[in-house]
A and B are shown apart, each in its own frame.
Chain A
Amino acid sequence: MCLGIPGQVVEFLDEHEHLARADVAGVKRVINVGLLEDEALQLGDWVLIHVGFAMSKIDEAEASRALEGLQLMGRAFDDEMAALQASPVAEP
């Protein structure tokens, strides 16, 4: 739950609802980007995602490092990815 998973913003969906689609380790997910309103997110930007919400903007190098580190975690990361994939989170 506390794992921050890096994802790349690939599509903005609903500006009013602050929804965007992110590519998270190859899985496309709807995420809420409202907490990064002040960051002026652009397509292609990388973010750290916690429980479906983008919490901080990061650069691509940090994203790939973070993902590598997470993959080494084994089961904890697999569980988190499985939860993320199973989540119906706010598909508009």
Chain B
Amino acid sequence: MRFVDEYRDPAAARGLIGAITELAGDRHHKFMEVCGGHTHTIYRHGIEHVLPSTVELVHGPGCPVCVIPMGRVDDGIALAETPGVIFTSFGDMMRVPGSKGSLLEAKARGADVRFVYSPLDALRIARDNPDRTVVFFAVGFETTAPSTAVTLLKARADGVTNFRVFCNHVTIVPPIKAILESPDLRLDGFLGPGHVSTVVGNRPYRFVPEVYGKPLVTAGFEPLDILQAIHMLLLQLRDGRCEVENQYSRVVADDGNQRALEILAQVFELRPHFEWRGLGFISQSALKLRPEFAAWDAEVTFDVPGVRVADPKACQCGEVLKGVIKPWECKVFGTACTPETPIGTCMVSSEGACAAYYNFGRLHREVSVTLNAR
């Protein structure tokens, strides 16, 4: 119980762990946490070591940087290397390897690549550089997509004509569906994502219990939140209930953020299909700019290569993202692939399962193994 003492309310945590152990009984339970933020909490706080062996957490695809396929990184680099372009990106994307290196390496070769905190920063750079074209590399689930949408509306309202968006926004429901359809994995339930649900709400997850017969509990990011959500999942299983529940109601409203959803619908439409790293092509799983925003759409105004590139053979990010293997089961984990020299996306982002495990979980696991051996 070494970890539990560090939790905000150790007594409550102990109580929950006891109740979880009792409810789980002898049966093995496998729950997927969809969100990379949860994966980070789980490894950071050694949650897998305080849970009974009958409760296994597998990590899902909810890391926006991790799911971008190599071909899209190559497209971004091609845009960045176009003469006259200033290419802007969130810091997380800068080190993601494409087939010919990362954006950081493109910058070292002379491309004007700048990292920004917000899409509004990219718009500001466009205003300040009227003789250049500023492209923003938009990534993220519904958590960040509304920010891109607001920025585009502002670019249009203010007549900023040298601003472009290279849109790679993805949506949260289709990959959950893809995982439920996958024969590789037998899950007993889901910890639903926290922050993305502040936008989409809890209603879009109803298909999980209704169509696939699995419970889903939207969870917060503290260790106690995760434990409580697991407890709620086990209670549903015990009672023969199967529904969407909200453990994180102090932040997530069931209806989500209507204003953000309206703005998303105003600016974006669904792509017929989009490639996800590890999950392959998923239909209607990503957003593109509506035709009325074509003048700001990098994919319309530039000749983007759009070449599909297979992941490096050694990299098993795909299996990690589907929850089929754990980070340490990947052949190159911690040897050829580290946060300093990542081969796959899951080792780049702090929300990636491999990076979180490398930075925290690995040590916890070694400590636990040593303690158990005594």
Contact = CB atoms under 8 A, between A and B. Distances in A.
Q: Do A and B come from one complex?
A: yes
B120 A2 contact: no
A32 B117 contact: no
Residue picked from B117, B139, B195, B259, most chain A C-beta under 10 Å: B117
B122 to A, nearest CB: 10
B195 A35 contact: no
A75 B340 CA distance: 13
Contacts of B2: none
A66 interface: yes
B251 A89 contact: no
Interface stretch (B20-28, B36-44, B303-311, B319-327): B36-44
Closest 10 CB pairs of A and B: A52-B118, A76-B350, A87-B117, A83-B117, A56-B198, A1-B90, A53-B147, A51-B118, A90-B120, A89-B118
A37 interface: yes
B258 interface: yes
B64 A1 contact: yes
- Which interface class (under 10, 10 to 19, 20 to 34, 35 or more) fits A? 35 or more
Contact of A62 (B37, B45, B120, B250): B250
A51 B37 contact: no
Contact of B150 (A2, A35, A38, A72): A35
16 contacts: A1-B144, A32-B120, A35-B260, A48-B198, A50-B147, A51-B118, A52-B117, A52-B119, A55-B195, A56-B251, A56-B252, A65-B222, A69-B222, A73-B40, A76-B351, A83-B91
Interface in B122-137: 123-124
Contacts of B222: 65, 69
Interface in B20-58: 36-37, 40-41, 44-45
B65 A58 contact: no
Given A62-B251, A69-B41, A76-B350, A35 B120 contact: no
Interface in A23-80: 32, 34-38, 48, 50-53, 55-56, 58-59, 62, 65-66, 68-69, 72-76, 79
Contacts of A83: 90-91, 115-117
A65 B118 CA distance: 24
Contacts of A84: 117
Given A48-B251, A76-B40, A87 B146 contact: no
A35 B124 contact: no
B118 A87 contact: yes
B199 A53 contact: no
B147 A2 contact: no
A63 to B, nearest CB: 10
B91 A79 contact: yes
Interface of B: 8, 36-37, 40-41, 44-45, 63-65, 90-92, 115-121, 123-124, 139-141, 143-144, 146-147, 150, 195, 198-199, 221-222, 250-253, 257-260, 263, 350-351, 359
Contacts of A66: 221
B92 A1 contact: yes
Contact of A86 (B92, B117, B260): B117
B92 A55 contact: no
A1 B65 contact: yes
B250 A89 contact: no
A55 B37 CA distance: 16
Nearest to A52: B118
A4 interface: yes
Nearest to A75: B350
A50 B117 contact: no
Given A38-B259, A59-B250, A53 B198 contact: no
Contact of B143 (A2, A58, A62): A2
A2 B221 contact: no
Which of A36, A48, A73 has the largest number of chain B CB atoms within 10 A? A73
B259 A36 contact: yes
A35 B256 CA distance: 11
A61 to B, nearest CB: 8
A47 B135 CA distance: 29
Nearest to A84: B117
Nearest to A62: B250
A48 B260 CA distance: 14
A52 B147 contact: yes
A53 B92 contact: no
B91 A51 contact: no
Given A35-B257, A36-B259, A52 B140 contact: no
